[in-house]
Structure 1
Amino acid sequence: MKLKNSVRAALLTTALIAGTAVPAFADGGSAVSTPEQAVAAVQKATGTAGIATGANAGAVMATDRGLVTVTTPASAEGQLSVAASDGSAVTMTLPAAVDAAGATSAAGTTVYPNAAANTDLAAQATVAGGARALVTLKNADAPTTQRFDLGLPEGASLVADGAGGYDIVTSAGGAGVVARGHIDAPWAKDANGKAVPTSYSLDGNTLVQKIETSSDTAFPVVADPHYTWGIISGTVYFNKNETKVIALGGTVVSWLPHPAAVAGGRSLAGIAGYAVATDQCIKFKVNPSLLPLSPAAAVAGSGTYGGSAGDGYCR
């Protein structure tokens, strides 16, 4: 992975420039925090190895899915942005109550101290071409439900990936939708590095994160949504009507192997038939580079999605 970026990050303090450790919340979570405290809490949870610098001016990463530009906002009411080489972008708004100014550490973490009640916010670009939005709950009075508004390209939507995260999908051309981005399953850590239970739900295009603190939780707690955009290959999802066609031996797109073809030990028609019987839809993991040589080999990771919980595209 090569980082193409000549912009230097703004620096917080001489201590951070020198790499000196900065004390975190000495009392377990003060109501008002300094930039140094905010950075210390976040970088203790994330480390610094995977952070890209210069994202406050737009960090350009060369990835296996092309050039990706990640931009962190100058203030808390701005937007994180991950833009693909075709100009399309997915943005995320931080859950700020006030428009706190950002301060950027030498490692590349931008913090927005005291941006919400008992809460600090932060943003990072990752060297893999993604963006992190970070919430630090400073004490037990901090809200444990956080809302992140997403800005999606026209025609894009979200599909649950079955592992706690979401694929960001667009039209595959002809039929189905293909994943071009991904929201990783969430994580949260307390001050001792212990995992704190956390999960996502969707409210329209708002990502809602629930963080389950308890009397045993050591504050501050840092929680993280992380997402990417611009993936060229990925999972292709089909809706219920398309799934029924495949189950009956029909073709919905020219590149799809014959439904009798076996993928992962099962025929595509068989997988689709199971999906129909269980009120689900079929999905495939596609490697486009293999399609001209071996369509059956190009379609791997076949399975189902949707079900009784419902899904935005499985309908």
Structure 2
Amino acid sequence: MSGLSVLAGAAALTTALAPAAAADTSHSTARVAAVIEKATGTDDLRTGAAAADGAEVTLPARGDEPITATKSGQSVALTLPATGAKLQSSTADTDVFAGRDAAVSAAAQATADGGFRALFALADSGAPHQQSFRMTLPEGATIRQTAEGGLVVLGASGSIIGGLETPWAKDANGKAVPTSYTLEGNTVTQTVTPNADTAFPVVADPKWTWGIISGTVYFNKKETAHLAANAGFVAVLFAAAPPPFDVYGILNAANISRVAWNADSDNKCVEVKVPTFLPHEYSGGYCK
């Protein structure tokens, strides 16, 4: 944990927002929340403690505590790159924390779809461009990357639980900033790549959503061999997906198994497009 005070993280971002202002902590964190809500909007935020779409979301009181979401008996958690006690909550329920680095602030939002956002804001070009989030998943769950750069979480049975949507980042003018995820174990690192024209502060977030995540789900060589050997397993893999995707998965089970068999014979891997569940061979990347 960083030895910097919680005030330092908020004050650094305030300097980038209003260099001439000598704001107190409350005023500083209010500015942080305003910058973040400008990037995300507030229409889809869930205020209050009520469940949304059958899901319960608990936002942390401290930066080293996780955001936790539970739905249909499945729980996921994501820990912010933050430290110290919560600094402030906006009227739209954006909770602000000091980042682990002086020029970074972090925030958490619960969304009306039962998901959540775990956000960070970089005050200036000197702020670290990489921020890491630790994920806690249900027992037996695994993470796969999608073609669009998001992450999909599969349960122990292979059914899709949900995932992190395609990453995004915006500068102070609302201009998109290149960004991507890397995954090491259950730690997700988001990297932003500003350039000379980027206006700070920059806001980015991993956004958790339950259910189907669009894109492509990749399987490695060992998993491809397993899919090739057992079409029945493929049907089970997608049976728990919500309608009509469960039907697509089951109807395509034999085709997925066939393509996986061909891929295994070609020393390649299989990828499955979501939500159509059409399989294709691929090589490189996760195929190892």
Gaps of 5+ in 2: 1-15, 239-249
Q: Work out which of the residue numbers 213, 225, 243 in structure 2 matches 1:241.
A: 225
Q: Distance in 2 between matches of 1:29 and 1:148?
A: 32
Gaps of 5+ in 1: 1-23, 287-299
1:30-72 deviation line (CA, Å, top 9, x unaligned):
9997111111110110111011112xxx44112xxxx100111
CA contact (8 A) 2:120 2:204 kept: yes
Q: Distance in 2 between matches of 1:47 and 1:233?
A: 21
**Is 2:173 the counterpart of 1:192?**
yes
Equivalent residue number for residue 158 of structure 1: 143
Equivalent residue number for residue 44 of structure 2: 50
Larger of the two Rg values belongs to structure: 1
Q: Distance in 2 between matches of 1:105 and 1:111?
A: 8
TM-score after normalising by structure 1:
0.70
Deviation at 1:213, TM superposition (A): 1.4
Cα distance change on mapping 1:118 and 1:227 into 2, 3 Å: same
Q: Give the aligned length.
A: 257
Equivalent residue number for residue 137 of structure 1: 122
Q: Work out which of the residue numbers 280, 286, 298 in structure 1 matches 2:269.
A: 280
CA contact (8 A) 1:283 1:302 kept: yes
Cα distance change on mapping 1:278 and 1:115 into 2, 3 Å: same
CA contact (8 A) 2:228 2:260 kept: yes
CA contact (8 A) 1:28 1:138 kept: no
CA contact (8 A) 2:115 2:208 kept: yes
Equivalent residue number for residue 123 of structure 1: 108
Q: Distance in 1 between matches of 2:22 and 2:143?
A: 37
Q: Distance in 2 between matches of 1:154 and 1:171?
A: 7
1:258-307 deviation line (CA, Å, top 9, x unaligned):
xxx9859x944553344322510354758xxxxxxxxxxxxx42224773
Deviation at 1:196, TM superposition (A): 0.4
TM-score after normalising by structure 2:
0.77
**Is 2:113 the counterpart of 1:92?**
no
Equivalent residue number for residue 15 of structure 1: none
Deviation at 1:310, TM superposition (A): 2.0
Deviation at 1:179, TM superposition (A): 1.1
CA contact (8 A) 2:152 2:217 kept: no
Equivalent residue number for residue 244 of structure 2: none
Deviation at 1:181, TM superposition (A): 1.3
Equivalent residue number for residue 87 of structure 2: 102
Aligned-residue Cα RMSD (Å) equals 3.6
- Pick the structure with more helix per residue: 2
